Chains A and B, each alone.
Chain A
Amino acid sequence: MSYDFQFAFIFQHMDQLLWGALLTIRLSALSMICGLAVGIFGAIVSIHGSAPARFAVTSYVELIRSTPFLVQLFIIFFGLPAAGVQVDANVAALVAMTVNLGAYSTEIVRAGMMAVHPSQIEAAQALAMTRWQVIRHVVLTPALEKVYPALASQFTLMMLASSVVSAISAEELTASANLLDAETFRSFEIYLIVMGLYILLALLFRLSFWLIGLVVFKRRRRLGVARPRGNR
């Protein structure tokens, strides 16, 4: 075998790859915040909205879940300009990731909200709270706490899926790798290192979510338990 692995050569260009990794983090973080907001809104509408609104949310979720992310990305990137809206690749990537994550988040948050026992809602109603107050103070926080691991998992998956946005040349880690490959032709080494970087990113995300969970959910931090024991 006459192939000459030249990893050292790649390490010289490490800064390009690390910059790409940073961009991936930024893109993912932004899409997570927006995607979660969409998800909470979608979940509330899917439970409390009018029949047409609920149908719209269900359709949105099923459409996203049954079609590839790459196709959704193409529809946004190639399709929108045809409809008159100018989009740059990075914006299209963020929008596509938000739309995609929003659908999965809607499902997840909805499941969490439905898991709040009706007796909790009755107790809140007996305390004269309005419907919105009940949702905000009694349903959402326990719901989010309960589905937090599922959300964190989905967010990490999205970060990995973000590699696909390199197909429209949006700037992130895989795109940086592709550029480096075009310059140096050391494909195998480059993608092997990039694989390692993604694994590290996945670990980093998991750790961060764990820490964030401790900070946001006071009860967890104090009691060190994953969720409340069957208290109705």
Chain B
Amino acid sequence: MIAEFSWDQFIFLWEAARWTVLLSVLAFIAGGAAGFVVALMRTSHLQILRTLSAVYIQIIQGTPVLIILFLSFYGLAIYGFKLPPMVAATIAMTIYTSAYLGEIWRGCIEAVPVPQWEASTALAMTRWQQLRYVILPQAVRISLPPTVGFLVQIVKNTSIASIIGLVELTQAGKLVSNATFQPFLVFPIVAAIYFIFCYPLSRFSFALERKFHAHR
């Protein structure tokens, strides 16, 4: 029986979109925290930390998100539990985000001019004090445009979770499309919903970039 694409289906899509938002936010927060650690490791004095984090970044950046997702979904299954798709997806997106944000933030830390390090060293600050009071505040400002830009990537990549069955927006789209036999109507609507989330973020990132450069 072919369902009609009615208001109910439309609401179903939006309800699924909540999972998209939740997954994105979780990935951003957890991945951001991990990414922060990665960035600090990348800019550390200790060679071993720099190397470890560099290797980590290279591995994650050289792997498709989907494979990371499969590994987290099937990987923990070997210990006996069947992981709920949402948990696997969150783990995978967190790992993905930590590597990319780590690399972006490393660049931002390194973009803070060397004289800033020199001046704060001359003022007898410890490395942690330097980071906290002088370097990171400036690095954060530099990092705003690319970080917001990456948030767009996170939202788009949550669509991958549909492949392991999480009913987020894309999977909901597939379900509705299969039920109504109207893919040419449903998927563009799905795309439009993503667009509503992503395009403003994109413009915001662009505006931040402009504002930032205007100051300099």
Contact = CB atoms under 8 A, between A and B. Distances in A.
> In the complex, are there CB atoms of A and B closer than 8 Å?
yes
Interface of A: 1, 3, 62-63, 65-72, 74-75, 78-80, 82-83, 160-164, 166-167, 174, 177, 187-188, 191-192, 194-195, 198-199, 202-203
Interface of A is mostly: helix
A167 B163 contact: yes
A79 B187 contact: yes
Contacts of A188: 71, 74-75, 77-78
The majority secondary structure among interface residues of chain B is helix
Nearest to B77: A187
Contacts of A63: 191, 195
B67 A74 contact: no
A82 B183 contact: yes
Interface string B172-186: 011001000111100
Interface of B: 58-59, 61-64, 66-68, 70-71, 74-75, 77-79, 152, 156-160, 162-163, 170, 173-174, 177, 181-184, 187-188, 190-191, 194-195, 198-199, 202
B188 A75 contact: yes
B170 A70 contact: yes
A72 B191 contact: yes
Contact of A191 (B58, B62, B71, B187): B71
Contacts of A187: 70, 74, 77
Contacts of A198: 62-64, 67
Given A164-B64, A194-B67, A66 B198 contact: yes
Contacts of B152: 65-66
A82 B182 contact: yes
Contact of B157 (A65, A68, A167): A68
A65 B198 CA distance: 9
A56 B162 CA distance: 31
Nearest to B158: A68
Residue picked from B64, B159, B163, B182, most chain A C-beta under 10 Å: B64
What are the 4 A-B residue pairs with the smallest beta carbon separation, nearest first?
Answer: A187-B74, A78-B183, A163-B64, A68-B159
A158 B183 CA distance: 25
Contacts of B159: 68-71
Contact of B71 (A75, A164, A192): A192
A211 to B, nearest CB: 19
B74 A166 contact: no
A195 B191 contact: no
B184 A67 contact: no
A222 B174 CA distance: 53
Max count, chain B CB within 10 A of own CB: residue among A67, A177, A195, A202: A67
B110 to A, nearest CB: 18
A75 B183 contact: yes
B157 A191 contact: no
Nearest to B191: A67
Given A65-B198, A75-B191, A78-B187, 14 more contacts: A3-B79, A69-B156, A70-B170, A71-B159, A71-B173, A72-B191, A79-B183, A79-B187, A163-B64, A164-B160, A167-B162, A187-B74, A195-B71, A198-B64
